Structure 1
């Protein structure tokens, strides 16, 4: 009779596979458990077994050369349906096992197994013993078998914790590298405009310039002051994102009208870089959102497109009002490599093109975009082809 599946079978298998012990070489700790089980219970066979989707695999064994067998033939598959020890005094007299091929082929008459439980929940295998003669364990032997199964559980948990600790250490090292990169980038982004402002101030203070030259100096200083304020605003926004404190002032909005305003605000930058900026949105595109935050999103997306589109390139903004309200921003820029696409919304991530083109910014724009859109329960997706361009699809609830 085939054992029923445990009620938590998918999660049980996930816990087993997460332990990453299947098909690993023998280990002394588990070999000792199998040997002790055999000696304490006075049986010729002692096993540490793990029950996979379709098989029972032996992590440790005493008294057999088998590495495993199909789950359909497994005594242990019955044991893992609960957290209790299973004892079969005589398999030939037990309806569950009387017609099991292992009873005839291997001469199995006696079985006792205690479940190996992970996370206090998932029975992933057993510590078990077999004999070719009918018999019954003593109370002390049952306690010992349960204790050995708990010991096997601890061994599996320790290995998993050690591996996870190694993964966490690797991630911490990556975080340290990201932190160093972030500090270097932010330091550069802060120092550059500050140095420019200071340099022009020193010239204004040291020399007498005509009114036109002074106005040009002040204009440069103003632009760099705006750059500093934008960076500070982005850093403050990231701090709010980290604390899940993005506040929205929700109301009925027209996405197309917001797009018109964003295009008008960015047209000067586009003309300065020789990029055509086309607004093909059709009013209205009704949605519910925070007009100020959505304007911030559209500004980030358009400025990003302009930065990465060469002179004589083109950026178009389209709208879709049927179904969920959508805006599409398509450029003919440098594009994004396939291996970089999964990371473009990560904080402080700068793609290779940003480094090659020496584009300003700490890599926060798209992270802020996604945070604002997520707060609206909307979505933002990028499709891109290197050398061809990028399309950003922004979707919001109606």
Structure 2
């Protein structure tokens, strides 16, 4: 019997890629095992898949168990065969004479297995038949066993194709929804400040009704805030092009030892005027000593600003507390008493351009990029973002970082 040479690592990767191991019984495969038993006249027939440690039965006739150790599997020997592996009498074959399944239940004497060949000729397992008496297959039975094995392989590949098609269709729908969300959100976020700037410019340039100097300065201050808002939007979208869909891939940062306490204090100071404008109390629990992390001062500041700004946006009254600790690892915790988030929306909060229903209903400014960028930045620092929230009871966001020894080099 000739042997087919195949790379085991590649074979296992293909097997896992088909996502068929440990799946439920399916009529298509059960029928093939039944046909194999009836055509070959054996009490046992299996559709067997072999991974690195076991053979697992997608379908089985004549036995009650669904897997065995690979070391005792006849099918493991059939994988490398170019054609059916047939063992007329296992008790006289040195490969199997002492096999536990030969000397004990199910007392295998006869075995025939046709390899399940998929793309590139790789074999995932077999369609096999087993008897408790020595025997051989007829030429017609061998042809039938090969045909059944080809049918199983085709069924496995068809399942994978169908699953991939569903995944692609779902992804296309998701991308279409994302495109519409981007166009709607960004259009609104660009138009609103631009309309404000244009309106104030027209008033400033109206020679028929000149403004007094103080009013002009007030108008210029509003225009400056709107220009800053536009700049922030552009910066966030440019950063999104680097980090992709919420991951740190593509985000290059230079990490040096940075005092998380000092950095957080500056972010809190910058956010305090907005909190006070809404009548909110913003408190910062200053630790007794520096809390060091290895990171980019600019990017960490941006992440903290997004978290604090979200807390202000979604809190109409109450307190926002900020806490920095190095126990057990450097961590910034921001807790608000705001509107909170519904459980079903929490898994999507880090999706780019996703805005909660509460944000839309309350016309809260922002394109929905804040938490996406926060997660990407913290991930790029080997940290993690933990979010806990309850609708109507506020939100807590913790940014956790790896420890940084005080003597860490720049």
**TM-score (structure 1 length as normaliser):** 0.80
1:1-398 aligned at under 5 Å gives the runs 18=20, 22-26=24-28, 31=32, 43-45=40-42, 47=45, 49-50=47-48, 56-58=57-59, 66=61, 68-71=63-66, 78-82=73-77, 83-84=79-80, 85-91=84-90, 94-96=97-99, 97-102=101-106, 109-116=109-116, 125-130=125-130, 134-136=134-136, 145=145, 149-206=149-206, 207-242=209-244, 244-282=249-287, 283-311=289-317, 313-397=318-402, 398=404
> Who is 2:5 aligned against?
none
Larger displacement relative to structure 2 (132-141 or 184-193): 132-141
CA distance in 1, matches of 2:312, 2:269: 13
Task: Tell me the secondary structure at the aligned position of residue 278 of structure 1.
Answer: strand
Task: Tell me the secondary structure at the aligned position of residue 69 of structure 1.
Answer: coil
Report if aligned partners of 2:341, 2:390 keep a CA contact under 8 Å in 1.
yes
CA distance in 2, matches of 1:161, 1:77: 32
CA distance in 2, matches of 1:72, 1:189: 58
CA distance in 2, matches of 1:233, 1:75: 56
Assess, with a 3 A threshold, how the Cα gap between structure 1 residues 260 and 134 changes in structure 2: closer, same or farther: closer
> For 1:316-351, what per-residue CA distance to the aligned partner results, in whole angstroms no more than 9, with x for missing partners?
111113442222111111112222222222211212
Task: Tell me the secondary structure at the aligned position of residue 388 of structure 1.
Answer: coil
CA distance in 1, matches of 2:352, 2:215: 40
Report if aligned partners of 1:55, 1:69 keep a CA contact under 8 Å in 2.
no
CA distance in 2, matches of 1:89, 1:235: 69
CA distance in 2, matches of 1:378, 1:121: 44
Structure 1: unaligned runs, 5 residues or longer: 1-6, 60-65
Assess, with a 3 A threshold, how the Cα gap between structure 1 residues 141 and 120 changes in structure 2: closer, same or farther: farther
CA distance in 2, matches of 1:344, 1:360: 16
Task: Tell me the secondary structure at the aligned position of residue 268 of structure 2.
Answer: helix
CA distance in 2, matches of 1:92, 1:13: 31
Superposition CA RMSD, Å? 3.7
> Who is 2:4 aligned against?
none
Report if aligned partners of 2:116, 2:152 keep a CA contact under 8 Å in 1.
yes
Report if aligned partners of 1:51, 1:77 keep a CA contact under 8 Å in 2.
no
Task: Tell me the secondary structure at the aligned position of residue 81 of structure 1.
Answer: helix
Task: Tell me the secondary structure at the aligned position of residue 391 of structure 1.
Answer: strand
CA distance in 1, matches of 2:133, 2:292: 79
Report if aligned partners of 1:37, 1:145 keep a CA contact under 8 Å in 2.
no
CA distance in 2, matches of 1:160, 1:376: 37
Give, in angstroms, the shift of residue 275 of structure 1. Answer: 0.6
Report if aligned partners of 1:73, 1:102 keep a CA contact under 8 Å in 2.
no
Task: Tell me the secondary structure at the aligned position of residue 393 of structure 1.
Answer: strand
Task: Tell me the secondary structure at the aligned position of residue 167 of structure 1.
Answer: helix
CA distance in 2, matches of 1:268, 1:73: 68
Report if aligned partners of 2:338, 2:394 keep a CA contact under 8 Å in 1.
yes
CA distance in 1, matches of 2:58, 2:379: 45
Report if aligned partners of 2:23, 2:58 keep a CA contact under 8 Å in 1.
no
> For 1:192-216, what per-residue CA distance to the aligned partner results, in whole angstroms no more than 9, with x for missing partners?
1111111222233334222222222
Give, in angstroms, the shift of residue 182 of structure 1. Answer: 1.4
Report if aligned partners of 1:37, 1:148 keep a CA contact under 8 Å in 2.
no
> For 1:98-145, what per-residue CA distance to the aligned partner results, in whole angstroms no more than 9, with x for missing partners?
445545xxxx75321123356779865422245676334589986885
Task: Tell me the secondary structure at the aligned position of residue 249 of structure 1.
Answer: coil
Report if aligned partners of 1:76, 1:126 keep a CA contact under 8 Å in 2.
no
Larger displacement relative to structure 2 (150-159 or 331-340): 150-159
Larger displacement relative to structure 2 (168-177 or 116-125): 116-125
Aligned length: 376
> For 1:293-337, what per-residue CA distance to the aligned partner results, in whole angstroms no more than 9, with x for missing partners?
1111111111111111112x1011111134422221111111122
